[in-house]
Amino acid sequence: MRKYIEESVDKYKNDYAFGMPAHKGKKYFDLDIKRDLTEFLDTDNLLNPQGAIKKSQEEVSEIFSSKYSFYIPNGSSGAINIAISTLAKRKDNILVQRNTHKSVMNSIIINDLNPIYINTKYDEENALFLGIELENLKNILEENSIQLAIFVSPNYYGGILKLKEIVRLCHSHNVYVIIDEAHGSHLYFSHMKEFCANFSGADIVINSTHKTIPSLTQTALLHVNNDRVDVDKLKKVINIYTTTSPSYLFLISQEEGIDYMVKEGYKKLEILRKELDKISKDTGIMSYNINDSTIASYDTMKFLFRLPILSGIEIVKKFHLEYNIRLEMGDLYYALAIFSPLTEICELRKFIDVILSLRNGEYKKIAKLKFPTSKRIISPRKAFDSPSIYKNLKDSCGMISANNVAFYPPGIPIISYGERITKEIIDIILNNLDEGIEVVGINQGKIEVVDESICNF
């Protein structure tokens, strides 16, 4: 057969890598196909670790300062399903950031949970999400019977929440806390270690190792931090969600990547941080971070930027086509670059030189609008199970969504299962489509909605 996937990937393999995965296409370990084994004698078994894998996970736990740590070979999305299924029971109320990853909604459907949303503070002037307002969180916890809460820190753009205050407030209401720290694995090996979720008191913390430290894509860690978590139940849930044929290459890549970070990570990250500070002083170029009371700090390895005339997605295309630079993502206004310990100073300087060469002109005006919220009419699980039809997006106002609709990356739903579609939401989706943003959940201009003609609610 024609190698369609290989051809599509090969177009980018020689680019300067400023997106995930964190290994940046560099050979940091021996990816020997002969190591691609299944369980045999003393290679151990990920789903019942007694030997090598058990010892490896115990050492990972020491390095990340957790009580227990587990390798998860199906990414943070899989780890989120495992964590939620461990801590929540059917019909429980779960507190969810509105700008959380779509995998959380998938788990809500699987476990038939009732989501209660907390809006992340939104900066209309700059079209950026910030953090959680503690007074708002306090009010929601007092007004609702909530069993579990999940928060994202750092967010996709590098903003780190005030986790200790958030966790303390949730625990005072006897609420379990999961921190989706998918973008924060490297922080444990940096000057920002104090902001790491494992030091916040959170019950479960999730890291995508491939995002910010060198390991193969799809690798993640799940950390347990206290006795509030039933670890025996957690292990059963891991067995439910995890393939019985996990890749040993994945596991080896995580061991190698973590070992690299222990030996070289801090030094490499410090070199990059100091170079970025120097660049900022010399040129005025720095990541677009907003000081706000809801944000504890910003990840220095995330670089959010704008350029005159261009939208974020246009920046991504221009950097690739004209400069062989692969960025992480672009949206209506911003482009995002991600650095890692394997980013070389010469690569960083090339990236900055391109920005310097493109600084002339007027910036695209940011449309000041509130990030919309929708009223949930039925539960996500009921919407998922209900008969559905496809309607033209422009004609769907007032209907109930039977799917997630999310801008990707980063995969944040603008509307989700069981929610009423509004004109404001339709306009925002259409605007993003017109700008060339990938919108998952819209197919050929149509959206999946609940068929209310045969459903009684």
- Pair 250, 278 in one domain: no
Give yes or no for residue 409 having a pLDDT over 80: no
d(C-alpha 55, C-alpha 77), whole Å: 25
Residues 252 and 286 in one domain: no
Task: Specify the residue for token string 């067995």.
Answer: 239
Task: Identify any residues that bridge with 148 across adjacent strands, giving them in sequence order.
Answer: 94, 176
pLDDT value at 365 more than 80: yes
Number of domains in the chain: 3
pLDDT at 154 over 90: yes
CB 286, CB 280: distance < 8 Å: yes
Whether pLDDT at 303 is above 80 = yes
The strands making up 442-443's β-sheet, listed across from edge to edge, are 388-392, 446-450, 442-443
User: What number is the average pLDDT over the span 296-302?
Assistant: 98
Distance CA 365, CA 312 (A): 12
For residue 367, pLDDT beyond 90: no
SS3 content of the chain, % helix, strand, coil (to 5): 40, 20, 40
Q: Positive or negative CA dihedral for 371, 377, 381, 386?
A: negative
Whether 246 and 167 share a structural domain: yes
Could you tell me if residue 25 is inside a domain? no
Model confidence pLDDT, tens digit, residues 87-139: 999 999 999 998 788 899 999 999 999 999 998 998 989 989 899 999 999 99
Mean pLDDT of 416-425: 95
Q: Are residues 307 and 337 in the same domain?
A: yes
Q: In sequence order, which residues have a C-beta less than 8 Å from that of residue 105 and are 6 or more positions away?
A: 96, 115, 380, 404, 413, 416, 417
pLDDT number for residue 457: 66
Residue 215 inside a domain? The answer is yes
**Do the domain assignments include residue 30?**
no
The answer as to whether 157 is a domain residue is yes
Mean pLDDT of the chain: 95
- Within this chain, do residues 102 and 147 fall inside the same structural domain, yes or no? yes
* Torsion sign, CA atoms 70, 78, 211, 187: negative
Query: Which residues, 6 or more positions from 436, have their beta carbon under 8 angstroms from its beta carbon?
Result: 311, 313, 314
Mapped onto helix, strand or coil, the DSSP state of residue 176 is strand
CATH number for the domain spanning 277: value is 3.90.1150
In this structure, are residues 400 and 420 in contact, taking their beta carbons and an 8 Å threshold?
yes
pLDDT reported for residue 238: 98
> Is 455 inside a domain boundary?
no
End of a domain among 258, 293, 308?
A: 258
Burial 64-91 (b: 16+ CB within 10 A, else e): bebebbbbbbbbbbbbbbbbbbbbbeee
Does 327 lie in the same domain as 246?
no
Q: Position of tokens 């044929």? A: 245
* pLDDT value of residue 246: 94
Same domain, yes or no, for 351 and 302? yes
Query: Are residues 71 and 16 part of one domain?
Result: no
What does pTM read for this prediction? 0.95
Q: Is residue 59 part of a domain?
A: yes
Last residue of a domain, one of 225, 258, 291: 258
Whether residue 365 lies inside any domain: the answer is no
What is the pLDDT averaged over residues 432-450?
A: 91
Q: Looking at residues 307-314, what average pLDDT do you find?
A: 95
Determine, yes or no, domain membership for 372: no
What pLDDT, on a 0 to 100 scale, did the predictor assign at position 51? 95
Residue 290 has pLDDT above 70, yes or no: yes
For residues 337-347, average pLDDT: 97
- Classify residue 451 as exposed, middle or buried by CB count within 10 Å of its CB (0-12, 13-18, 19+): middle
CATH number at residue 68: 3.40.640.10
34-43, 175-184, 209-218, 313-322: least confident range = 34-43
Dist. CA 405–CA 421, nearest whole Å: 11
Q: What percent of the chain has pLDDT over 70?
A: 99
The alpha helices in 324-358, defined as continuous H runs, are: 345-357
Domain that residue 296 falls in: 12-20+266-357
